[in-house]
Amino acid sequence: MTKPQGPLEDIRIVELGHVIAGPLSATLMADFGADVIKVENPRAPDMMRELGPKAVQDGVGVWWKTIARNKRILSLDWKADEGRAILRKLVEQADVLVENFRSGVLERAGIGPDVLHEWNPDLIILRISGYGQTGPMAKKPAFGRAAEAMAGMPHLTGHEDGPPMHPGFPTADSTTGLMGALGVMMALHTRGQNGVRGQVVDLAVFEALMRLMDYHVPALTGARLSPKRNGLRQPMDFSPGGMFRTSDGTWVTVSAASPQTAQRLLRAVSGDALADDPRFADMPSITKNMAAFFDALNTFVTQNDLATVEAAFLAADAVAAPVLSVEDILAHPQINHRSDIAEVEGEETQVIAPVPKLSKTPGAMRWLGRGKNADSQMILQELGLTAAEIETLAAQGIIGLPEGEK
């Protein structure tokens, strides 16, 4: 197995997470060298192994391949006394523990933050839950879609006269994974400063998305404007933009961020009359008359092919970007130049490469999500257990071993 490399190669993470939010946080750090030990129950492994389509090559879930990549797998029933003792050994040697159970699960199992910090005072504990560890909704179960709804995202997505809509990927869980990794990095940076040792990073799934959406709360409280979904246009029409289909059938998204760009664009697509119209003299006027601007763009785009549209927008220093399918992504010269699609030797399944790109200590793909119980033997030996002890634990169902090692 390839030795971890990267800026986090000296960081060990114990992952008790499941599904997306917690595991993605650990994956993002594993991409940059962290030694992530993912702990799965021998009788109930992470459902991500079975969720979604399976790879033609080997029948393994493709989502599992990418979210469990670069992680070592330990099959352990940590709620049993013998398993708890092993978990303690892991925690004592770890820098970070990641969990995304419902609030209170660790405490009921007798391993809340007070116990974990007794085992390892320097431990960073990332706790991801639907609504956070405190408050009137702390014990309530939640999934990503509920978090998206609470953050207000579907309210801003879709047509004005249609239902709210979720995006085409698990936005709340994914943004939480990203924010969780950021929280861990800040806590690790702080550790050892001014007497700070370990601490808890408490993150509700709706909070990360709400923070990244960012503008809807200040729009209401500061400007007394309530953003609402607006179909193919932006919810508040604060700058010209929209989604249009060219005459040769390509969807493009359009953006012009300044009044100067907007006027150049109007001149390119509709001539001097509309560009010099006082309705489009400045951004407040443009915002007030955005429907007319949108109609002018729609007329131009729908009557011309993609090449003509791109050329006109480029000349106006505006943006008309084609919407890429996954097939387009795999063939795109800029994406390929940036090496943004990664592959592992012996695997047909390709995944998105680690980001961001660090010039001196870049991330790396070492392996994709591994099989059940894959690394139990090695990890337990690293903790000092003998072959006989491992065999006994396996016979008791406390740990799981690959078929060939039982």
> Where does the pLDDT of residue 153 fall: very low under 50, low under 70, confident under 90, or very high at 90 and above?
very high
Lowest pLDDT segment from 64-68, 194-198, 252-256? 252-256
Task: Dump pLDDT digits (tens) for 84-127.
Answer: 999 999 999 999 999 999 999 999 999 999 999 999 999 999 99
Q: Which domains does the chain have, with CATH numbers?
A: 12-213+339-405 (3.40.50.10540), 241-245+251-322 (3.30.1540)
pTM assigned to the model: 0.92
Instruction: Assess whether pLDDT exceeds 90 at residue 265.
Output: no
Query: Please, which pLDDT band fits residue 3 given cuts at 50, 70 and 90?
Result: low
Provide the edge-to-edge strand list for the sheet that holds 251-255.
241-245, 251-255, 319-322
Count Cα neighbours of 384 within 13 Å in the Cβ-side half-sphere: 7
**Predicted local confidence at residue 1, as pLDDT:** 59
Known catalytic residue: 122? no
Residue 19: which region, alpha, beta or left (left: phi > 0; alpha: psi -120 to 50)?
left
pLDDT band at 405 (very low <50, low <70, confident <90, very high): low
> Is the bond leading into 278 cis (omega within 30 degrees of zero)?
no
Say if CB 47 and CB 59 are below 8 A apart: no
Q: Which of 35, 77, 95, 173 is catalytic?
A: 173
CB 18 within 8 A of CB 100: yes
- Please write the tens of the pLDDT for every residue from 345-372: 999 999 999 999 999 999 999 999 999 9
At 266, the amino acid letter reads L
